[in-house]
Structure 1
C-alpha cells in the first residue's frame, strides 16, 4: 500500500528537502597530442590532501569536481558551474575538458604514462592494487555520483510510520529503502541518460550501445564479487566478508550502483548511522556545459521521493530482474524503445510521480523535468544516448569530443563575468575564487555574502568589504 494518500501538502514539501551534492569525474585532454593530458593537476586548485572541491582520481588527468551538500538543487548545479569555471581557468592553452565518460584513444606511450605517473603518494599503494587487479583502462571511465541525505523531519515521519524507537535505525532503513528503489530503477536512468556508446580503445566495428559504463563491461567489480541489495544487514555483511576474504580492499572498492556512506568501519556503521547514500550510475552528459543538466538532477530527486512514498518488495528475484533489465537496456541500440514491460513500469512510475507533483505547491520546474522524461520514454530519439549516437563518425566520437570540448571552453572564456560565476555578485568573485581554490569550506548565503567555516569556532562572514589579504592572513 502506498503512503501517498496520507501525504498532506506539508509532508510533500518536506519530501523535497534534504541535502544533495554531486561529484563529477572528467579528463583534461591535450588537443595537440589527441589524448589524455600529461600536464600536472593545476597547482592553483589547491592541495589535494585536503581540498574538498578539487581532487583527481585514477590518473593525473582525471579531475574530480565535488560540490558541497545543498538544500536546493539549483544550488548544486550553480556550484558545479562555478567549479567548472575555475578548472577551465587553469587549463593549459591546448587542454580541454573531455565531455565524454569514455576516454579518447590511447597509444602505447599513453598507457605507459598512465601506469607510471601518479602524484598522490598517500594513495599510491591502493592505486597500485587497483592497477594490478583491473588494468589501466577500467578506472579511467568517468561518471557522476549523486549524494543524498533526507531532511531529519522526514526521518522522524518515517520513524513514526514504521513504529521504530531509534532515529538512527529509522534513517538507516529509510536510506536503504530509497537505495533499493534506485537500484531497482537503474535501468530507467540508463535508458534516459546513458551516454557511453563505444570504447575508443577497442578495435573493430562496434555497434553503438546506450552505456558501456553502466553495463557489466563497464565500471564494475570482478565477477566473483557478489554484493546484494535485498536486505540492509546482508548488504553490509557481504561487503565486510568480501574485505575479509581479500575480494575487496576496502568499502571504497565496492562499485555497486549505490553506496551507503557513514563510518568506514562496516562492523559499526549501523550503530553509528548511515549519513547519506551515493548514486553512482550516471554518465557525464556531453551536451551539458557543466556535464549535468538540472532536469537530470531533478528527476533523480523525484525517483528518490518515489522510493519513500511508493515502497516495493525488492527481493532477490525482483532485484535480479532489475539488474537483467539494466544490462539489456545498457547494451541496446540507443535509438531503440524500451521493451514493452519496462515501458509499462516506467509509465506507472511517471503516473505515481505526477500524483505527488499534483499535491506540491510551486512544482513547475519539477513538472518540466517529469514532462521531459515522459517524452523520452515515449520517444527514445530524445534520450541522451540516441542524440550522441548521431555524432558517431567512422566508429568514433573523437571528432565530436574535441569539437564539443573546445566549444565549451570558448563559451566559458567569452561569457560575461556574471555568467561565469552563478549566484555570486561580481564584487565577491575574487573572495569566492580564493576560498574555492584554497579549499576552505564555505556556504553561499546570498550573492553578496559567504559564510566561511560555518558552525565552527573560525566561522566568518565574507562580503565584498572583506579583502583577500584578510582571508590570506587567516587561512593562507
Structure 2
C-alpha cells in the first residue's frame, strides 16, 4: 500500500441501521401505531419500521467519521424518545413477553401501492416463517471506501477495465472474506446468549432452562445468529443458493430464487378471497427476503428492485448484518465496536479472496452456528481450509494481521483503533470478557431472568436519552423531516392510478 492509497483508506463512509422494538411499560410489544409525530414510515429517510409496526428502524446517513454517525443516531433517539410517552425501546436483540403471533402487529405503510406492497411482503414473511422470527432486532453496519480510493487502488493493482466493474469485484471479494471470518463478529459482540421462554410459545425448544422463564446455552454468544433465528431453510428444499463468486452470479442466483416456484409456499396461496397473503409463491418474494450476514448494496431509485440497481450501477456499499444490539450501550453499538469493525472490513478488502466452493460454503455455515451456540466453549474448533482449528488461535491470527491496518487508521500506534483492537484481543484470550458472558454472569449474580435483565437495561437507556434534550436546530431538523415525509406519503396516495395488481406485476416485470 503506497502513501497515497494509505491516506485514502482513512476516508471511509459509515452508516448504521439500528432496529429496536417499541414496548409497553412491562416490556411487551407496543400495540399502538407508529407515532405520526415521528413522520411517515414509508417515506422518512431516517425513522421507519421494519417487519412490525412496533419494530422501529433508525437509519443514519453515511458519515466520514464514526463519531459523526453515532451522534446522528443519538440525536434520532432523543427525538424519538421525546414522543414515545410511556413506551420505550427494548435494549436487546431478542424480544420478551410475546403473546404469540397475534401479539405482533405487521407494519402499515398507508394506502399507496408502494405502501400496500411493503405490507403484503411482510404479511408473506409471517405466513412463511412466523411473525415471532421477524421481531428479532439487530444493527446493520453500512460501509464504503471513499470514491477517490478506487482509481488509486485499481492502478496499484494493475487491473485494466471498467472502474465500476473493478469496484464491484473488489467489494464481492470483501464479502466472501467477511463470510469466511465473519464468525468473529458474533464471538466478540454477540449479546443474545439467552432468550425469553415466550419466544417459543406453542413450540418446542432444545435450549436448556436458565430459570422458569428463560432459555439459554451456557457458551452461546448470539442465539439471534443461530438456528433459532430467521433463516432461509427453504434452500434445502430447492437447491437454490445465492452465489458470491461475482456480482453477476450474485444477481443471477437471487433473480432465479425470485422467479422459481415453491410448492411449499404455493400452499399458502398468493391472493385468497381477494386479499393478498404474499407477493408471490416463489422461493423468495423479493431480494430482501434472502437472509445473509453480509450484502452488496446500491442506492435505490424510486420503485427500483435491489437486484436491478446492482445490475445497472454496481456495488455502492456493503451491509454487515451480524451485529446484535449492544445491550450495554444506549445506542446499541459503541464507539469501540465502530472502530474495530471499520478496520475489520478494510482488512477483509485487502486479503486475497478466492471463490467459495461447496465444502467451504458448508464450513462457513457450520462455523457461524458453532460460534452462535458454543462460541465461548473451551477448545472450540472451527473448520478452516478443510481442517479443524481452534477458534482462539484463528482469531488471534486475524487480530495480529489487523494490527497494521489499525495503526494506519490511527496514523501511528496507540490510538483509538489500536485500543479497540487490544480490547478484542482480550476477549479472545478470556471469553469471560465478552458481552455474552457478561450478560449471563450478571443475570446469575442478580438472580435475574432474561426479561428482568433486558427491562433493567431498557429503562436505563430510556433515562439516558430523556436526560438531555435536542438543540433547537436539531429539533427543527427532525420536525421538518417528519412533516416532509407525511406530505410525501400523501402525494403518493393521491397520485395512485394503476391497480395494485398492475403495480406489483410491473415491479417484477422490470429487468
Same fold? TM cut 0.5: yes
Among residues 403, 413, 434, which one is paired with 2:466 in the alignment? 413
> Residue 319 of structure 2 aligns with which residue?
278
For residues 103 and 174 of structure 2, what CA distance do their matches in structure 1 show?
Answer: 41
For residues 354 and 199 of structure 1, what CA distance do their matches in structure 2 show?
Answer: 35
How far the C-alpha of 1:253 sits from its partner, in A, is: 1.0
Among residues 396, 401, 419, which one is paired with 1:347 in the alignment? 396
1:134-145 to 2 correspondence within 5 Å? Answer: 134-145=129-140
- Are 1:259 and 2:300 counterparts? no
For residues 141 and 158 of structure 2, what CA distance do their matches in structure 1 show?
Answer: 27
**Worse overlay, 286-295 or 221-230:** 221-230
> Residue 14 of structure 1 aligns with which residue?
8
CA RMSD of aligned residues (A): 2.3
Alignment coverage as a number of residue pairs: 421
For residues 373 and 408 of structure 2, what CA distance do their matches in structure 1 show?
Answer: 37
Could you tell me which runs of 5 or more consecutive residues in structure 2 were left unpaired when the two chains were aligned. 210-214, 261-281, 382-388, 486-511
- Are 1:98 and 2:90 counterparts? yes
For residues 169 and 286 of structure 1, what CA distance do their matches in structure 2 show?
Answer: 40
For residues 227 and 391 of structure 1, what CA distance do their matches in structure 2 show?
Answer: 40
> Residue 27 of structure 1 aligns with which residue?
21
How far the C-alpha of 1:154 sits from its partner, in A, is: 2.1
> Residue 488 of structure 2 aligns with which residue?
none
> Residue 454 of structure 2 aligns with which residue?
401
> Residue 249 of structure 1 aligns with which residue?
285
> Residue 326 of structure 1 aligns with which residue?
368
How far the C-alpha of 1:288 sits from its partner, in A, is: 0.5
Give yes or no for contact 1:337–1:380 (8 Å, CA) kept in 2.
no
**Worse overlay, 391-400 or 244-253:** 391-400
Give yes or no for contact 1:51–1:438 (8 Å, CA) kept in 2.
no
Q: Residues 77, 178 of structure 1: CA spacing in aligned structure 2 closer, same or farther, 3 A cutoff?
A: same
How far the C-alpha of 1:310 sits from its partner, in A, is: 2.0
Deviations 1:169-202 (A, max 9, x none): 0111111111112111111001011111233122
**Worse overlay, 40-49 or 237-246:** 40-49
Give yes or no for contact 2:343–2:405 (8 Å, CA) kept in 1.
no
> Residue 232 of structure 2 aligns with which residue?
221
Give yes or no for contact 1:198–1:212 (8 Å, CA) kept in 2.
yes
How far the C-alpha of 1:266 sits from its partner, in A, is: 3.0
Q: Residues 249, 410 of structure 1: CA spacing in aligned structure 2 closer, same or farther, 3 A cutoff?
A: same
How far the C-alpha of 1:281 sits from its partner, in A, is: 0.9
For residues 306 and 67 of structure 1, what CA distance do their matches in structure 2 show?
Answer: 24
How far the C-alpha of 1:294 sits from its partner, in A, is: 1.3
How far the C-alpha of 1:303 sits from its partner, in A, is: 1.1
Q: Residues 234, 404 of structure 1: CA spacing in aligned structure 2 closer, same or farther, 3 A cutoff?
A: same
Helix, strand or coil at the partner of 2:307? coil
- Are 1:199 and 2:195 counterparts? yes
For residues 77 and 379 of structure 2, what CA distance do their matches in structure 1 show?
Answer: 34
Among residues 238, 248, 255, which one is paired with 1:240 in the alignment? 255
For residues 175 and 327 of structure 2, what CA distance do their matches in structure 1 show?
Answer: 26
For residues 435 and 40 of structure 1, what CA distance do their matches in structure 2 show?
Answer: 21
How far the C-alpha of 1:87 sits from its partner, in A, is: 1.3
State TM-score, norm by structure 2. 0.77
For residues 376 and 439 of structure 1, what CA distance do their matches in structure 2 show?
Answer: 45
For residues 62 and 376 of structure 2, what CA distance do their matches in structure 1 show?
Answer: 33
Q: Residues 37, 266 of structure 1: CA spacing in aligned structure 2 closer, same or farther, 3 A cutoff?
A: closer
For residues 239 and 179 of structure 1, what CA distance do their matches in structure 2 show?
Answer: 16
Give yes or no for contact 1:181–1:304 (8 Å, CA) kept in 2.
no
How far the C-alpha of 1:362 sits from its partner, in A, is: 5.5
How far the C-alpha of 1:399 sits from its partner, in A, is: 0.5
How far the C-alpha of 1:356 sits from its partner, in A, is: 2.7
Could you tell me which runs of 5 or more consecutive residues in structure 1 were left unpaired when the two chains were aligned. 1-6, 441-476
Deviations 1:354-408 (A, max 9, x none): 1233445166111111111111111111111111122436783100111111111
> Residue 56 of structure 1 aligns with which residue?
49
The ranges of structure 1 where at least 4 consecutive aligned residues each deviate by more than 6 angstroms after the TM superposition are: none
